Amino acid sequence: MEPQPPPIPPHDPYQPSQYDVYQYDTEPQGEEPPLEDPQFDEGLGKAVFLTFSRALFQWDRFFPGMREDRSPVPAICLALFCGITITIVNVLINYLILGPDGGVQAFLQELQKLFPEMQLPDQDFGQAYQTGIVVQVFLAPIMAAFQFFFGLVIFYLSSQIFKSHKGSFSKFARIYAYSHLPSLFGLSYFGLFTWVFSLVLLVVGLVKAEKSSPGRAILTVLAPYIFLCCLGATCIGIFTALIAGGMSAG
């Protein structure tokens, strides 16, 4: 009788590498934002205030506590409120600074000092400017909503390209909405600061809430602007080439 071969030892189960630095483990690790917490019972006003203050000044405490399955509606409403409010405030500030005619008459008078032979138009710019103010106030909600949702789609697509977000679209919408809260302070002369602050918050939100690597989060935020700059430079180059070709042909 021939001897039987020894049994084949079982294979060891697969073990993931312990050297993966960034794991997409999105389990919450902090206190939930009060505006999203169903257990928070201290009133809507306090929930909004605490959410606003923590999102802007307590990043390490705020973003890690976000849950996966919360509704994005409260965060989006808060972001839209900030955008609409600052748009209307900026329109009114410009009206108070520039005057009832938008400063057009003063500009034309200064221009006439440089060119005395120029005749000033008899048109009343005040009524047209004030009509424009009213139109801007009524269009503020539409423009704020369009800007918000357009940016939401663009940055979500960017996050999918660079793999900085592996959770639900709802969670990304909330991260994006909270990154828009600094817009409430975006007065006409501080708009650049609040815009940069919003981009920083979006990067922090992706890193803290989604456990993304900082490099992926930064690429997600900067890629749309880099693409826009490249597209603009290409259009300018084509336009310049067409003009140069037309001049040389003529």
pLDDT for 39: 87
Q: Which residue would you say has higher pLDDT here, 45 or 116?
A: 45
Q: Percent of the chain beyond pLDDT 90?
A: 42
Predicted confidence (pLDDT) at residue 18 exceeds the cutoff of 80: no
**Domain range summary for the chain, segments of one domain joined by +:** 44-52+72-249
Instruction: Render pLDDT for 60-109 as a digit per residue (tens, 0 to 9).
Output: 889 998 988 899 999 999 999 999 999 888 888 877 776 655 555 555 55
Cut 0.85: pTM above it: no
Instruction: Render pLDDT for 120-131 as a digit per residue (tens, 0 to 9).
Output: 555 555 566 667
pLDDT for 103: 56
User: Which range has the worst mean pLDDT, 67-71, 189-193, 214-218?
Assistant: 189-193
56-86 burial: b if 16+ Cβ within 10 Å, else e: beebeebbbbbbeebebebbbebbbbbbbeb
Q: How far apart are CA 209 and CA 60, in angstroms?
A: 10
Instruction: Render pLDDT for 147-188 as a digit per residue (tens, 0 to 9).
Output: 999 999 999 999 999 999 888 899 999 999 999 999 988 887
